Amino acid sequence: MKKTLMILSLSTGLFLGAVTVSEAQKSKVRYADQQMELMNYRHAIEEYKLAYAKKPGYELAVKLAEAHETARDYDGSYEWWKNVVGYEQADSEDYLNYLSAAQRTGRMDAVESDLAGKEVNVDSLKQNLEQLISPSSRKKVKLENVQELNSEASDFLIAKDGSDNLYFVSDRGATFSRKMPGIRIDGRNKMFSDQGNDYTGRNFFGLYRKSADGELEELVSNIPGTYNFSDPSYAKQAGLLFYSVTRDIKKVRKDRNIAVQPEIYYSKVTPEGTLEGYMAFPYNDSLAYSVMNPFIDEQSKRLYFASDRQDGAWGTSYGGYDIYYSSYDENMVFSTPVNAGASVNTKGDETHPFRKGDKFYFSSTGHPRVGGMDVYMADFSPSGISNVQNMGMPINSLSDDFGYRELENGDIYLASNRKGGMGLDDLYLIEEVYKQFLARVIDCDGLVMTDSYMATLRDNTQNGNVQTQRNGTGALAAELEPDSDFSLTISKPGYFTVTDNGITTKGFEGDTLKREYTLKPIPYQLPVFVDIVYYDLDKYVIRKDAKPALDKIAEIMQKYPFLDLLVASHTDSRASDEYNIKLSNNRATAVTEYMAQYNIAAERIRLEWFGEQKLVNDCGNGVPCSEANHQLNRRSELVLEAFPDPTKQYDIPEALKDMDFCNPEDIFEVLSKEISEVPTIYFDFDKAMLRSVHKQELERVAIMLERMPNLMLYIEGHTDQRGSDAYNEKLSARRSKAVMDYLIKRGVTGDRMEHQWFGETRPVHDCSQVSCTSAMHQLNRRTELRVGKSAFTYTGRQKKVNTM
């Protein structure tokens, strides 16, 4: 007896414990549901997981998958959808969600193995997914349930009159325990016939009006015997409301085998929103075919509607319900209806036509679709309708979606019986929650670049790329997630890459985020610095006097990685051509080896060698020359080039971020302040002859001007303060001219130089105020050189020499 009682007690305890665990789990799930409603997504996910750990199940797995997706944790969403499809209860919508998650997280390769052994057509799922994620399907919107209009019944199809009264259809109200007469038509035009016996349990459809001040009331049809009263469409200019009715017909009462079909009528709308009188559409025939879903298009003077007439009287019928139109005049005289054509109509049902601008909208069960009935968009012109596209998710769902309408104020509505609604069919407001991004990409002339560049827009918050396209003006357009940060990269071969990491929709209250970017050409192999090193006869060893120049170049290259070195080496004319080629090669190589001590890679040094082919003077074979002139030929010209590799795509260097690369010579001006030194040429007392050492410096100036064709050279001659003003003025003119003449002999054209003279008026040391030493007098006896891209403003005499 005791043993029996113990067993009973144990069993009862286990049962009560199971009940306690079950109730605790339900409580935790309810709490998690509340957290989801409060948008505490992460906390909700934690609670769902705790509940799932205690008692795994299909419904909880779905909740977790959806919660991760809402929280934009796409990896987590994928894992839970993968879990969901492991349950026997998983349906086609679950498989499609799983496939979407796999696509979103780049795991499509795993789909075949994950679904192995399951009775599911993977190829068909992939095909459906491709349709959903195609560009035409990517409508960046969200759907909000219009709770103030919806009920537990069916609510659909919005229209608005000139007094801001809102009309919609509903079958809200009491259900019936008695038999209802004849026919009921729901929002997707499915007919239910009781033939006197069947009972649907739903009220007939009626038309409801919500006034501008929020008052809601049901309208009464003026048409005798009205059962269903639906499909409002308002003609603003005419002040008429078009609608569909299904009415009582005496003949049907006697013969219950006759079906009553919907018809189109229209009535005058008073300012208060009531209906006055009624007129029938002349092509109604309620005992032969349906005429319903009117849309009055006042711009094209057409009445669009749906009909299942099959006898060909209005043109080819494609099956089921087709969309037709009838033109009308100012007296509402309607022409014979015309079928909208094969691009719109199919063997399925096409209903609920609507036009706005150059777009035509309708619903269909015959075109490729997401769910049972989908909304489609097409291009409209008076001559026809073309390019039909499924509007995709989220406008369409795996259920029925219909009755797309855009009101004058911009509000967009549709009806759907998708999951999560309040009733059988609900009205939804389509809202564009995504911000528009619009960027003009221009060239240096301010012209819009419409193509041939690559743009990558990345959502850094969501960790994914954003699709971009060119709009009608050639601008770059995209739709951006709210409360997110973005980065944009624009690239084009031969142009600097543009990067913008400052794009954000956080705190942005406008509709369109606008930017303008200039693509600037890369000035490949642009010289920014020139120097020369010299060699002893028949030697390629780097001399002591050459090391400071090379040391400085190494320092510059370490600081500016976008600069490479061009070394062009030469010899004098003594020795054979073959020997001198090898010698000049060795001299160029010696520079590379010297730079290695500063970790300057050989790849950053471009070598050229010419032997005796490019002498700077007339010291050719057999020509007697001084050793000083031969020395000028034994050289390596050193040229620092910005952006040296023409095959490489460069970003604008940080040091040059504020530069206008539309004028590449500006690069020289910026860098020359730091790295370029233009020499000052000094003269002996009362002399205008160039010293040998200064000829070497002028060689560097000549190479600079040769390599940088956009530069001008400005030459200013000066004297010390000994001698008369008139004499010193002439002497300074001879000194500036001596520099110019030398450079002209080196091939610099006179139109790229301006020389001027100031006599003793601009001394470095004013010897009229202090007693000057010989060194101080020397500093006054000079010709100063300056380079620039345009003329300086001078106060002294100046002269430009044209050697043409």
Assign 404 to helix, strand or coil: strand
pLDDT band at residue 119 under the 50/70/90 scheme = low
Q: Scan for tokens 């993977």, then name that residue.
A: 122
The token duo for 615 is: 């002498």
Summarize pLDDT for 496-514 with one digit per residue, the tens: 999 999 999 998 888 899 9
pLDDT at position 51 over 70: yes
Rounded Cα distance, 66 and 741, in Å: 83
Percent of the chain residues past pLDDT 90, beyond the cut? 47
> H/E element holding 584?
helix 577-595
Rounded Cα distance, 115 and 408, in Å: 48
Q: What is the mean predicted confidence (pLDDT) over 162-176?
A: 82
List Cβ neighbours of 775 (8 Å cut-off, separation of 6 or more): none
Residue 276, classified by CB atoms within 10 Å of its CB into exposed (0-12), middle (13-18) or buried (19+), is exposed
Summarize pLDDT for 618-652 with one digit per residue, the tens: 899 989 999 999 999 999 999 988 898 888 888 88
Rounded Cα distance, 529 and 671, in Å: 8
Q: What is the mean predicted confidence (pLDDT) over 432-455?
A: 87
With beta carbons less than 8 A apart as the criterion, state whether 94 and 85 touch: yes
pLDDT at position 73 over 90: no
Residue 49, classified by CB atoms within 10 Å of its CB into exposed (0-12), middle (13-18) or buried (19+), is middle
Rounded Cα distance, 286 and 292, in Å: 10
pLDDT at position 28 over 50: yes
Question: How far is CA 755 from each of CA 712, 778, 796, 801, rounded to the nearest angstrom?
Answer: 11, 21, 10, 8
pLDDT of residue 544: 94
pLDDT at position 400 over 80: yes
Nearest-CA neighbor of 717 among 676, 677, 765, 682? 682
Q: Pick the range with the lowest mean pLDDT from 23-27, 89-93, 785-789.
A: 23-27
Q: Pick the range with the lowest mean pLDDT from 254-258, 280-284, 579-583.
A: 254-258
Rounded Cα distance, 492 and 551, in Å: 36
The token duo for 529 is: 């610095």
The token duo for 785 is: 């050189």
pLDDT band at residue 550 under the 50/70/90 scheme = very high
pLDDT at position 127 over 80: no
Rounded Cα distance, 571 and 578, in Å: 11
User: pTM for the complete prediction?
Assistant: 0.49
Q: Pick the range with the lowest mean pLDDT from 217-221, 378-382, 393-397.
A: 393-397
pLDDT band at residue 251 under the 50/70/90 scheme = low
Summarize pLDDT for 581-621 with one digit per residue, the tens: 999 999 999 999 999 999 999 999 999 999 999 999 989 99
Q: What is the mean predicted confidence (pLDDT) over 449-461?
A: 88
pLDDT band at residue 184 under the 50/70/90 scheme = very low
Angle between helices 74-84 and 58-70 (to 10 degrees): 160
Which comes out higher in pLDDT, residue 132 or 522?
522
pLDDT at position 756 over 80: yes
Q: Pick the range with the lowest mean pLDDT from 7-16, 121-130, 327-336, 396-405.
A: 7-16
DSSP string of 517-531, one letter each residue: EE--B--TTEEEEEE
pLDDT of residue 194: 40
pLDDT of residue 388: 93
pLDDT of residue 509: 81
Instruction: Compute φ and ψ for 425, nearest 5 degrees.
Output: -130, 135
Angle between helices 2-37 and 58-70 (to 10 degrees): 20
With beta carbons less than 8 A apart as the criterion, state whether 322 and 306 touch: yes
With beta carbons less than 8 A apart as the criterion, state whether 451 and 443 touch: no
Q: What is the mean predicted confidence (pLDDT) over 414-428?
A: 91
Question: What does pLDDT average to over the chain?
Answer: 84
Which comes out higher in pLDDT, residue 531 or 322?
322
